[in-house]
Amino acid sequence: MEFSIKSGSPEKQRSACVVVGVFEPRKLTLPAELIDNAARGYLSDIIRRGDMEGKLGSTLLLHNVPGTLCDRVLLVGLGKEKEFREKEYCSALRAAVKTLNETGSFDGVVFLTETGVKRRDVGWRIRQAALVAQETVYRFDRFKSKKDEVRRPLRKLTFAVERRNELAPAEEALAQGLAIADGVSFAKNLGNLPGNVCTPTYLAEQALEMSKDLGLECQVLERADLETLGMGALLSVARGSHQPPKFIVLQHKGADASQKPVVLVGKGITFDTGGISLKPAPEMDEMKYDMCGAASVLGTIRAAAMMKLPINLVALVPASENMPGGAASKPGDIVTSLSGQTVEILNTDAEGRLVLCDALTYAERFEPEVVVDVATLTGACVIALGHVASGLFANNETLARELLTSGEEAFDRAWHMPLWDDYQEQLKSPFADMANIGGRAAGSITAACFLSRFTKKYDWAHLDIAGTAWKSGADKGATGRPVPLLAHFLLKRAGKID
Ligand code: BES
Ligand code: MN
Ligand code: ZN
């Protein structure tokens, strides 16, 4: 889809459809009023008759509105003006794009982007509009023989801004929004692919291809390399699988080499059966999503490269399957991690922390400014926070706050969880330096505590996205989270937004 920015009067737009908002109850927004004036009260008549109350997300498509140059006018309900916030703004836009896409409008000029949202500037509104639009038209039908064809799909969207002096910042925000949306789609596609397609090898190929497209540096470490390095924890997870593990290193060098990089680490378990500690059958298919941390890290570096952010960024992906093959690790096995610390594997299903700990140690060699890992790490995090917020853990308060704020602003929220030493005891092992599980209590915290033992040398945060990376049920699918949060975090670090 093509996108552009414009400032102008709604009644003068030559387009297949002009989209304007109506507040509840029955209050026209300014652009709607302009059309109403040109149409000599046509809209207010309709509203008076009760055909459009302004309920959030409701739509009414009008043809041949007098006094306008467009084929159609789409009225979109915004809900009550007093309650109009980020969420309402996004819902209204979603309804608009969905309707445009389903009704055969080839292009549309959207004036909803002129509606103010408390505490958010025009840049935010445009970035978010681009994201919501791409999100609404997203489909994953690669494996459907018959695609659900949209009759005449939307090709071009124009977002309106009120003043001419908003054009430049809006253009920049649009480019950012589209880059982030691209990163989100990229992450969703990888997540939605089945485990027999999206293997560690496939992930590595995708990273290589992306590095060529966007001028990134890419290196893929093979099993032999991991053995030489001594990544015993990662290797122990890969033992049960016929698919070889891969360790992906992607670099975006957007700043002077003297500038320390942000390192992102993503859990890349392309399928998690649980290993010898086998998972139960129901919903096990969803464990194809166990590489969503990796997907989001790749999606984020993609967005950052597309935005040409003047920062140095490294993405690390330890990729493996977790399978119960004959050579698989067994409960009680002890392995030596890259850090030299030994781990007693009491449960082979706690494999995420095993692949991550070696990647976190590997991160040291980049002398990072900060390290953020992203992982579908624990079912316990879903119990704690549901599907609304990602779990955030950090060994540095400032970094934690920075990420929390980014989540709020990008509308991709996280919640700060404790990482107190008191929880570390649960990881005691009689035979090794630590066990890989800490019992049922505080499962997401003890998992983070495990990781914290490998992140002593830098500022570090961990995002547990087990509840936010995908949706189950009727609209099953990857969400692309937390690409918006991470991209926002990087935009701020790069000084592109306040
Ligand atoms: N990938 C899972 C975590 C998960 C489970 C995410 C369900 C989303 C939904 C992870 O590898 C895992 O199996 N964790 C175990 C840890 C336990 C054995 C300590 C879990 O959460 O049950
Ligand atoms: Mn597992
Ligand atoms: Zn897992």
347 CA: nearest ligand 1 atom: 18
Nearest CA to ligand 1 atom 6: 466
290 lines ligand 1 (CB under 6 A): yes
321 lines ligand 1 (CB under 6 A): no
Specify the 3-state DSSP secondary structure of 363: helix
Which contiguous run of DSSP H or E holds residue 490?
Answer: helix 483-493
Confidence band for 184, pLDDT divided at 50, 70 and 90: very high
- Read off the pLDDT of residues 303-323 as tens digits, 9 standing for 90 and up: 999 999 999 999 999 999 999
464 lines ligand 1 (CB under 6 A): no
67 burial class (0-12, 13-18, 19+ CB within 10 angstroms)? Answer: middle
In this prediction, residues 270-281 reach a mean pLDDT of 98
Give the residue, out of 346, 349, 426, 465, with the most ligand 1 atoms within 8 A of its beta carbon, to mutate for a pocket test: 349
In this prediction, residues 333-347 reach a mean pLDDT of 99
What's the confidence (pLDDT) of residue 27? 96
CA–centroid distance, residue 463 to ligand 3 (Å)? 14
Which of 26, 55, 80, 279 is flagged as catalytic? 279
Give the residue, out of 322, 323, 378, 434, with the most ligand 1 atoms within 8 A of its beta carbon, to mutate for a pocket test: 378
- Read off the pLDDT of residues 290-304 as tens digits, 9 standing for 90 and up: 999 999 999 999 999
DSSP string, 128-193: HHHHHHHHHH----TT-SS----SS---EEEEE-SSGGGHHHHHHHHHHHHHHHHHHHHHHHHHHS
Give backbone dihedrals phi and psi of 23, rounded to 5 degrees, phi first.
-80, 155
268 lines ligand 1 (CB under 6 A): no
145 Cα distance to chain centroid: 28
Which ligand lies nearest the alpha carbon of 286? Answer: 1
Nearest CA to ligand 1 atom 16: 350
Which ligand lies nearest the alpha carbon of 447? Answer: 1
Please report, as a single letter, which amino acid is at residue 259: Q
What's the confidence (pLDDT) of residue 147? 84
Residue 466 has pLDDT above 70, yes or no: yes
Give backbone dihedrals phi and psi of 79, rounded to 5 degrees, phi first.
80, -170
Residue 489 has pLDDT above 80, yes or no: yes
CA–centroid distance, residue 439 to ligand 1 (Å)? 12
Please, what sign has the CA dihedral across residues 475, 480, 485, 491?
Answer: negative
279 is catalytic: yes
| Residues paired with residue 141 on neighbouring β-strands, in sequence order | none
Which ligand lies nearest the alpha carbon of 382? Answer: 1
Residue 426 has pLDDT above 70, yes or no: yes
Sheet holding 434-435, edge to edge: 333-336, 342-345, 434-435
Specify the 3-state DSSP secondary structure of 6: strand
What's the confidence (pLDDT) of residue 104? 82
- Read off the pLDDT of residues 8-35 as tens digits, 9 standing for 90 and up: 999 999 999 999 999 999 999 999 999 9
Q: Please give the Cα distance from 114 to 219 (Å, whole number).
A: 45
Vertex 273 angle, CA 271 and 276, to 5°: 135
CA–centroid distance, residue 430 to ligand 1 (Å)? 23
Nearest to 316 by CA among 248, 398, 216: 248
379 CA: nearest ligand 1 atom: 21
CATH numbers and ranges of domains, the chain:
2-154 (3.40.220.10), 183-493 (3.40.630.10)
378 lines ligand 1 (CB under 6 A): yes
Which ligand lies nearest the alpha carbon of 273? Answer: 2
353 is catalytic: yes
Residues in the chain: 498
269 CA: nearest ligand 1 atom: 1
74 conformational bin, left if phi > 0, alpha if psi -120 to 50, beta if neither: beta
Q: Please give the Cα distance from 74 to 95 (Å, whole number).
A: 10
What's the confidence (pLDDT) of residue 284? 98
What's the confidence (pLDDT) of residue 57? 97
- Read off the pLDDT of residues 48-103 as tens digits, 9 standing for 90 and up: 999 999 999 999 999 999 999 999 999 999 999 999 999 999 999 999 999 999 88
Which contiguous run of DSSP H or E holds residue 95?
Answer: helix 86-102
CA–centroid distance, residue 471 to ligand 2 (Å)? 18
Residue 388 has pLDDT above 90, yes or no: yes
Confidence band for 377, pLDDT divided at 50, 70 and 90: very high
What's the confidence (pLDDT) of residue 151? 58
- Contacts from 415-422 at CB under 8 Å and sequence distance 24+? 415/385, 415/389, 415/390, 415/391, 416/392, 417/384, 417/391, 417/392, 417/393, 417/444, 417/445, 417/448, 418/445, 419/393, 419/394, 419/395, 419/445, 419/448, 419/449, 419/452
CA–centroid distance, residue 351 to ligand 3 (Å)? 6
Which contiguous run of DSSP H or E holds residue 271?
Answer: strand 268-272
CA–centroid distance, residue 96 to ligand 1 (Å)? 38
Burial 16-32, CB ≥16 within 10 A → b, else e:
bbbbbbbbbeeebbebb
Q: Would the pTM of this model clear 0.95, i.e. be above it? A: yes
Nearest CA to ligand 1 atom 9: 379
CA–centroid distance, residue 313 to ligand 1 (Å)? 28
Confidence band for 150, pLDDT divided at 50, 70 and 90: low
Q: Please give the Cα distance from 411 to 333 (Å, whole number).
A: 42
CB 45, CB 195: distance < 8 Å:
no
Which of 246, 288, 302, 353 is flagged as catalytic? 353
Q: Please give the Cα distance from 168 to 47 (Å, whole number).
A: 35
Please, what sign has the CA dihedral across residues 162, 163, 168, 169?
Answer: negative
Q: Please give the Cα distance from 412 to 494 (Å, whole number).
A: 19
Please name the residue that has the structure tokens 């991209």. 487
Nearest CA to ligand 1 atom 17: 350
Nearest CA to ligand 1 atom 22: 379
Nearest CA to ligand 1 atom 14: 378
